[in-house]
């Protein structure tokens, strides 16, 4: 390799104080028998070795106790979600009363929009980013229609300047200053799934609030990836999934944040169910609804314990390592990926890809999105057959996510070598 990037990668791995974390995970094998170069934690994170025992503990308690597991399991099922609260709060920079783990991501977005998208008078619009994850767009459109509004006037999709891939924070601020009085709600991705751009959530929340809007984020690509300070940033609401960077398995239970300003906003409409009913009276089964304060007040059903067990296994790892340490490694790992890709382009005299993700670390998470030319699919297939797991997003992007918990600098160097080896 030029400048022997692989030797450099091995040296960086030897100095990596989080290198041992890789051994906490099960790494899929390539058909060659070698570990896959797994750079797809932005889509589905890998399985912690501990997950099986966390789930087995619940299977054992179910076998042993049947229904009594609700009170007498080692981790009783009735309050089980509370065993995840403290770690979740630390993960997203929230107070414990501001978070809850429940449902799946788009379901949580719907439940939050019921309460936090309240068009009225001249303030009817909801703002998302152009190129938001389609599920968010579909969810938002369905709320617009449900309120009897027209998407052509109620939906605003913020678009980068002509010729640019990235939305500038100052343009978002300027838009909100100019048109914020017509906006009910702003809901952006914390990190855009396609470009890998991380938004300045604090500045956007402040700009939205100056204009009188409610501000929320879809943190699917931010939770477990960035250091988040949702409380301090004054974000009104947020939701995220746990199967990407949070490694809680396919279809894992999602997360939800509601700022403590809204903890007792019982006058806001919400969809109800018995799991948000006052815990002290829930089993008296009263006909009247008395919702819990805080984020727990948005729960509906009793949660899936096996899924929560998998999430708990993963959150315990995040809590041991801590987001600041993970993020520090993540910045180094992604900078190394960027440098390897650029160096391979320089030394081969041809540019196979263009990086569309910002190179400023404060404007990205671990993912780099590589725009390919017309032969993008062929490059992707070439990588795939050589044991790289990353993903392809139409029309022309390969997304690559080196995850600090289990990816090595060697993974990154080998990936960039393979990118240029076809
Ligand atoms: C940014 C973003 N939002 C929403 C979703 C949809 O998630 P779910 O199917 O868990 O509701 C995804 C899924 O990958 C996503 O990346």
What ligand 1 atom has the least distance to the C-alpha of 107?
11
Q: Is the pLDDT of residue 316 over 70?
A: yes
pLDDT in tens, 257-286: 999 999 999 999 999 999 999 999 999 999
- Band the pLDDT of 3: cuts 50, 70, 90: low
Percent of the chain with pLDDT over 90: 95
What ligand 1 atom has the least distance to the C-alpha of 132?
1
pLDDT, position 215: 98
* Distance of CA 192 from the midpoint of ligand 1 (Å): 11
Q: Which of 41-45, 169-173, 370-374 shows the lowest mean pLDDT across its residues?
A: 370-374
Q: Rounded CA gap, 273 and 290, in Å?
A: 10
* Distance of CA 193 from the midpoint of ligand 1 (Å): 9
Q: Strand ranges (DSSP E) for 107-253?
A: 125-129, 155-158, 183-189, 214-218, 237-240
Average confidence score pLDDT of the chain: 96
Residues 11-22 have a mean pLDDT of: 97
Residues 59-72 have a mean pLDDT of: 98
pLDDT, position 32: 86
* Distance of CA 136 from the midpoint of ligand 1 (Å): 8
Task: Identify the helix (H) or strand (E) that includes residue 344.
Answer: helix 323-348
Q: Is the pLDDT of residue 421 over 90?
A: no
Q: Which tokens in the block code for residue 44?
A: 């589905």
Question: What phi and psi, each to the nearest 5 degrees, are found at residue 6?
Answer: -70, -40
Instruction: Look at residues 363, 336, 309 and name the one whose alpha carbon lies nearest to residue 39.
Output: 336
Instruction: Look at residues 353, 335, 349 and name the one whose alpha carbon lies nearest to residue 392.
Output: 353
Residues 99-107 have a mean pLDDT of: 98
Mutate to test the pocket of ligand 1, among 102, 193, 222 (most ligand atoms within 8 A of CB): 193
Residues 189-206 have a mean pLDDT of: 97
pLDDT in tens, 334-393: 999 999 999 999 988 888 899 999 999 999 999 999 999 888 999 999 999 999 999 999
Q: Is the pLDDT of residue 253 over 70?
A: yes
Instruction: Look at residues 159, 160, 141 and name the one whose alpha carbon lies nearest to residue 151.
Output: 141
pLDDT, position 373: 85
- Band the pLDDT of 132: cuts 50, 70, 90: very high
Instruction: Using a cut of 0.95, tell me whether the model's pTM lies above it.
Output: yes
How many angstroms separate the first and last alpha carbons of the chain?
14
* Distance of CA 306 from the midpoint of ligand 1 (Å): 21
* Distance of CA 279 from the midpoint of ligand 1 (Å): 30
Residues 60-83 have a mean pLDDT of: 98
pLDDT in tens, 198-218: 999 999 999 999 999 999 999
Q: Rounded CA gap, 36 and 39, in Å?
A: 9
Percent of the chain with pLDDT over 70: 99
Asked, as a colleague might, if the bond just before 395 is cis with ω within 30 of 0, I would say yes
- Band the pLDDT of 422: cuts 50, 70, 90: low
User: Which protein residues are within 6 Å of ligand 1, measured from CB?
Assistant: 104-106, 133, 135-136, 189, 193, 218, 220-221, 241
Q: Which of 43-52, 246-255, 346-355 shows the lowest mean pLDDT across its residues?
A: 346-355
Burial label, 357 (beta-carbon count in 10 A; 0-12, 13-18, 19+)? buried
Name the closest-CA residue to atom 5, ligand 1: 135
pLDDT, position 277: 97
Name the closest-CA residue to atom 7, ligand 1: 105
In angstroms, the Cα distances linking 222 to 94, 117, 201, 319, 394 are 14, 22, 11, 16, 22
Residues 249-253 have a mean pLDDT of: 98
* Distance of CA 33 from the midpoint of ligand 1 (Å): 32
Question: What phi and psi, each to the nearest 5 degrees, are found at residue 38?
Answer: -90, 105
* Distance of CA 164 from the midpoint of ligand 1 (Å): 24
Task: Please name the residues in contact with 196: beta carbons below 8 A apart, sequence gap of 6 or more.
Answer: 221, 356, 357, 358, 364, 365, 367, 368, 369, 399
Q: Rounded CA gap, 225 and 110, in Å?
A: 23
pLDDT, position 348: 87
Mutate to test the pocket of ligand 1, among 217, 239, 241 (most ligand atoms within 8 A of CB): 241
Q: Rounded CA gap, 265 and 409, in Å?
A: 47
């Amino acid at each position: 390799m030029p400048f022997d990037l692989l030797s450099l990668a091995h040296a960086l791995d030897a100095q990596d104080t989080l290198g041992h974390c890789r051994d906490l995970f099960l790494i899929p094998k390539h058909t060659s028998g070698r570990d896959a170069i797994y750079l797809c934690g932005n889509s589905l994170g890998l399985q912690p070795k501990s997950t099986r025992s966390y789930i087995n503990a619940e299977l054992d308690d179910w076998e042993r106790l049947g229904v009594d597991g609700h009170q007498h399991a080692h981790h009783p099922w009735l309050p089980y979600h509370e065993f995840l609260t403290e770690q979740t709060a630390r993960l997203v920079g929230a107070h414990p009363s501001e978070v809850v783990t429940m449902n799946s991501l788009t379901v949580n977005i719907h439940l939050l929009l019921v309460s936090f998208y309240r068009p009225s008078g001249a303030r009817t619009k909801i703002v998302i980013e152009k190129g938001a994850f389609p599920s968010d767009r579909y969810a938002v459109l369905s709320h617009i229609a449900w309120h009897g509004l027209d998407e052509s006037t109620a939906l605003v999709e913020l678009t980068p300047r002509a010729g640019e891939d990235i939305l500038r924070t100052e343009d978002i601020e300027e838009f909100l200053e100019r048109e914020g009085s017509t906006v009910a709600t702003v809901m952006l991705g914390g990190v855009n799934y396609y470009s890998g751009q991380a938004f300045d959530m604090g500045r956007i929340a402040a700009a939205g609030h100056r204009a009188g809007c409610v501000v929320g984020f879809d943190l699917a690509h931010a939770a477990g990836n960035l250091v988040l300070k949702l409380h301090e940033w004054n974000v009104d609401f947020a939701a995220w999934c746990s199967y990407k960077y949070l490694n809680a398995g396919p279809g894992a239970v999602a997360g939800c944040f509601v700022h403590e300003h809204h903890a007792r906003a019982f006058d806001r409409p919400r969809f109800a169910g018995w799991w948000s009913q006052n815990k002290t009276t829930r089993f008296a089964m009263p006909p009247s609804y008395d919702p819990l304060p805080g984020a727990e007040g948005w729960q509906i059903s009793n949660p899936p314990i096996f899924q929560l067990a998998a999430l708990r296994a993963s959150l315990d790892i995040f809590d041991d390592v801590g987001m600041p340490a993970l993020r520090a490694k993540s910045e180094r790992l992604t900078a190394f990926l960027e440098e390897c890709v650029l160096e391979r382009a320089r030394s081969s005299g041809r540019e196979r890809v263009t990086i569309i993700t910002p190179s400023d670390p404060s404007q990205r998470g671990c993912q780099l999105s590589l725009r390919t030319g017309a032969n993008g699919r062929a490059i992707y297939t070439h990588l795939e057959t050589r044991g790289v797991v990353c993903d392809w997003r139409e029309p022309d992007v390969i997304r690559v996510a080196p995850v600090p918990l289990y990816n090595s600098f060697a993974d990154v160097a080998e990936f960039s070598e393979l990118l240029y080896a076809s």
